[in-house]
Amino acid sequence: MGYSKTVDEFFAKPSPYAKQLAELRQIMLDAGMEETLKWGSPVYVAHGKNIAGISAFKSYVGIWFFQGALLSDVKGVLMNAQEGKTVAMRQWRFQKDEPLDVPLISSYIREAMANAREGREIKPAKAKPLVLPLELKEALKSDDVLKQQFDQLSKSCRREYAEYIGEAKREDTRMRRLEKSLALIREKKGLHDKYT
């Protein structure tokens, strides 16, 4: 569906899943969660924690639970959509026009909210050391203000920039990514903050 700048913009976009998205939104709001926009999609927050988000993709609409691995998943509907990358997050997918079981979805949300209220969470394992690609290292070395702005970002933001630039195979792609990244760093933004 592309990135949206506001929650209302997200829901106003034409989508074959518009009815299901509206229903999922209402379920989240009825649970009493705060509606926010993160990573270009609606995210629902309670007790100071991200509880769940909703989004539509080409072949399905889904809910993701940030701490879904802690849910009892009595119906076996949750899956790890990024096996090997995520430990805590789980996703529940719905096909186009599939009826939503509102009481069942609500029970999963209540359990996720209760877990957050009780402080239950799966914390990420200690991350490997941050390794900056040469191009980024050189840019930071030659600009003290830029280096200070970069150092003020969270470690996860710094890692996103390092991986984004470093994983490019071609030199011209690395340089394009570097220029894009430097502009965002100067604005004191993370790589994905531009979408919010």
Q: Any residues with CB less than 8 A from the CB of 21 and at least 6 apart, and which? A: 11, 15, 54, 56, 61
Residues found in the chain = 196
| pLDDT tops 60 at residue 1 | no
- pLDDT per residue as tens digits for the range 137-158: 999 999 999 999 999 988 888 9
Whether pLDDT at 195 is above 50: no
The whole-number pLDDT of residue 196 equals: 39
Residue 122 one-letter amino acid: I
C-alpha distances in Å from residue 17, one per residue of 33, 104, 144:
22, 20, 48
**pLDDT tens sequence across 69-124:** 999 999 999 999 877 778 899 999 999 999 999 999 999 999 999 999 999 999 87
Dihedral, 182, 183, 188, 193 alpha carbons, nearest 10: -100
pLDDT band at 62 (very low <50, low <70, confident <90, very high): very high
What pLDDT is attached to residue 194?
A: 47
Cα separation, 150 vs 161, whole angstroms: 10
Rounded Cα distance, 15 and 21, in Å: 9
What is the average per-residue pLDDT within 176-185?
93
Least confident of 42-46, 52-56, 192-196: 192-196
Tokens 């209760």, residue located: 114
Domain ranges for the chain, please list them.
Answer: 7-117, 134-195
Please give the DSSP secondary-structure letter assigned to residue 63. Answer: E
Fold of 7-117: Aspartate Aminotransferase, domain 1 (3.90.1150)
- The pLDDT assigned to 191 comes to 81
Q: What is the predicted pLDDT for the residue at 193? A: 66
Six-digit token string for 20? 């299901």
The residue to which tokens 């990358």 are assigned? 85
54-58, 83-87, 164-168: segment of lowest average pLDDT: 83-87
Rounded to the nearest integer, the mean pLDDT of the chain is 91
CA distance 92 to 65: 8
Residue 136 φ/ψ, nearest 5 degrees: -70, -40
Comparing 57 with 25, which gets the higher pLDDT?
Answer: 25
Percent of the chain with pLDDT over 90: 74
Give per-residue pLDDT as tens, 111-135.
Answer: 999 999 999 999 876 667 888 999 9
Give me the helices (H) in 94-143, please: 102-117, 134-141
Which residue carries 């769940």 as its tokens? 52
